[in-house]
Structure 1
Amino acid sequence: MAPQRLLKLTLAHYRNPDCSEEECHRFLTEEYIPKAVEIHQRHSLEIYSYHFTPSPLQNILRSACDRLQNGWTVDDHDLTVDFYFRDIAGLVTVSTDPEFIALQSIEGPFISKKGIVARLGWVETYIADEKPVNLIEGKSQYESYEEASAIQLGL
Structure 2
Amino acid sequence: MSATTGAPPVKFTITHHRLPHHTHEAFIDWIVKEHLPLAIPVFEKYGVIDYSLFVTPPPLNDGLKQEIGGLRPTWDFAECDCFIEYTLPDVETIKNIMSDPEWQIAVKDQDQWVDVPRAFVSLGYSTTYLQHGKPVNILS
For Structure 1 versus Structure 2, the TM-score category normalised by the shorter chain is: 0.7 to 0.9
Partner of residue 33 from structure 1, selected from 23, 32, 36: 36
Count of aligned pairs: 134
In the TM superposition, what whole-angstrom CA distance separates every residue of 1:3-49 from its partner, at most 9, and x where no partner exists?
A: x7321111111101111111111111111112211210111101111
- Give the Å deviation of 1:102: 2.6
Taking the aligned partners of 2:28 and 2:126, their CA distance within structure 1 comes to 26
Q: Which segments of 5 or more consecutive residues in structure 2 lack a partner in the other structure?
A: 1-6
In the TM superposition, what whole-angstrom CA distance separates every residue of 1:34-76 from its partner, at most 9, and x where no partner exists?
A: 2211210111101111111111011111101233235211011
What TM-score does the superposition give when structure 2 sets the normalisation length?
0.86
Q: Which residue of 1 aligns with 2:15?
A: 12
The Cα RMSD (Å) is 1.7
Taking the aligned partners of 2:106 and 2:72, their CA distance within structure 1 comes to 42
Partner of residue 127 from structure 1, selected from 106, 114, 130: 130
Q: Which residue of 2 aligns with 1:52?
A: 55
Q: Which has the larger radius of gyration?
A: 1
Identity %: 23
What TM-score does the superposition give when structure 1 sets the normalisation length?
0.78
